[in-house]
C-alpha cells in the first residue's frame, strides 16, 4: 500500500488526528502528512502512505494556495480567532480597495517573515508555542518566504458598530509561510491591528480542493476494496522532475546504487526521476565532482 491521499482536513481536527485516523482505517503505521494545518483551518492535506512517505519533502516544497479573510481593528495572541484579544483600534471608516491592494503589494515577492509565537517552530530545542504558553518570550528567527500573489477582490465588509473591516483574500505562497502572520502584517502596513479570521487551503502538493477526499470517503473505499480510487501514485509528487525510463540492464545497476553517465540516461537535468516498468523507483542527481548521476532518493527496489 504505497501512494498519496489528497485528504480534505475538516475543521476541528489536527493534522496528527488525521494521520492517526488513517492509520486505523488503513491498518498501517507508515503514514505521514506533508505540511501542518491548524485545527481551525480546513482544506487540502496530502497524506503519504507506505514508501510514499519518502516523497513528503517534495510535496512540501510545492507551492500552496489559500483562501481566507483578514479582519482589521483588533489583534489576538495567536494571530487568529482562537487567541485572546490583545489590542483593539476601532475603525471610523473602511479602508479603500486601493489602499488595501497597495498594502498587500508590499507583502508579495521574496520577503522576510517572523513566525508567530504560537507556532511549532523550534528555538533552542523548544517549540515557540511552549514558550508562549509558559508566558516566556524568546527571539524568533526570521525566514525567507515567497508570496506569489496576495489578491484582494474587494474592500470587504465594514462593521460600523464594532469598528472592524473584514476583507477576503487569496494567497499563493511557498512552504513555511504563515498566512495569519501575513494577515497581521497587512494590518501593520495599514497602521491598525489585524487578525486572520478565516482560512481554507485550496492547493498543496499539486492537489487542489476538488481532488481532496474526506476521511469517510477513504473508509468507504477501504471497505469496498477500491482504495485505488483515492490513492494517487508516488509519482504525483515528482511531476516537476524529468523522467527517464530504464531498461532491464540499467535497472539492474540502479537498484544497486550504481552511478550513471549522462549518456546512459540521455539527460542534462540536475535531478531526474528514474522509472522501471511504469513505476518511478528513485531520484538521481548530477554530481559535478563525479561527472555522473548519483542516487539521491530510492523509493522502491523491487
All residues at 6 or more sequence positions from 46 whose CB lies less than 8 Å from its CB, including other chains: 4, 5, 6, 7, 33, 34, 35, 59, 204, 205, 207, 237
State how beta strands 143-152 and 207-208 pair: unpaired
In terms of DSSP H, where are the helices of the chain?
A: 15-26, 56-61, 97-105, 128-133, 179-190, 215-223, 248-254, 262-265
Integer Rg of the chain from CA: 23
Asked if 38 is an active-site residue, the reply is yes
Contact 261, 292 (CB under 8 A): yes
- Selecting among 38, 185, 198, 235, the annotated active-site residue is 38
How far apart, in Å, are the Cα atoms of 39 and each of 42, 80, 172, 236, 252?
A: 8, 11, 21, 26, 46
Contact 39, 13 (CB under 8 A): yes
Helix axes 15-26, 215-223, angle to 10 degrees: 10
List, by residue number, the catalytic residues.
Answer: 38
Amino acid at each position: 500500500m504505497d501512494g498519496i491521499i489528497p485528504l480534505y482536513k475538516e475543521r476541528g481536527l489536527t493534522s496528527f488526528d488525521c494521520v492517526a485516523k488513517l492509520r486505523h482505517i488503513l491498518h498501517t503505521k507508515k503514514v505521514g502528512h506533508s505540511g501542518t494545518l491548524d485545527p481551525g483551518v480546513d482544506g487540502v492535506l496530502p497524506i503519504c502512505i507506505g514508501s510514499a512517505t519518502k516523497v513528503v519533502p517534495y510535496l512540501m516544497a510545492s507551492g500552496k494556495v489559500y483562501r481566507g479573510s483578514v479582519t482589521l481593528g483588533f489583534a489576538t495572541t495567536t494571530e487568529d480567532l482562537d487567541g485572546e484579544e490583545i489590542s483593539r483600534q476601532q475603525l471610523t471608516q473602511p479602508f479603500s480597495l486601493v489602499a488595501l491592494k497597495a498594502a498587500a503589494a508590499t507583502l508579495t515577492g521574496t520577503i522576510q517573515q517572523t513566525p508567530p509565537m504560537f507556532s511549532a517552530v523550534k528555538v533552542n530545542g523548544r517549540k515557540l508555542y511552549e514558550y508562549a504558553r509558559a508566558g516566556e518570550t524568546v527571539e524568533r528567527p526570521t525566514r525567507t518566504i515567497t508570496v506569489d500573489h496576495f489578491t484582494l477582490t474587494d474592500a470587504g465588509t465594514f462593521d460600523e458598530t464594532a469598528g472592524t473591516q473584514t476583507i477576503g483574500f487569496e494567497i499563493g505562497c511557498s512552504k513555511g509561510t504563515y498566512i495569519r502572520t501575513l494577515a497581521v502584517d497587512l494590518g501593520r502596513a495599514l497602521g491598525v491591528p489585524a487578525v486572520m479570521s478565516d482560512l481554507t487551503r485550496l492547493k498543496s502538493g499539486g492537489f487542489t480542493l476538488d481532488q481532496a477526499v474526506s476521511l469517510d470517503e477513504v473508509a468507504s473505499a477501504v471497505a469496498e476494496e477500491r482504495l485505488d480510487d483515492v490513492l494517487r501514485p508516488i509519482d504525483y509528487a515528482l511531476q516537476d522532475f524529468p523522467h527517464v525510463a530504464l531498461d532491464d540492464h540499467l535497472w539492474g545497476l540502479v537498484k544497486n546504487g550504481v552511478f550513471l553517465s549522462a549518456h546512459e540516461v540521455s539527460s542534462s537535468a540536475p535531478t531526474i526521476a528514474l522509472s522501471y516498468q511504469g513505476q518511478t523507483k528513485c531520484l538521481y542527481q548530477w554530481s559535478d565532482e563525479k561527472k555522473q548521476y548519483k542516487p539521491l532518493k530510492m523509493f522502491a527496489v523491487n
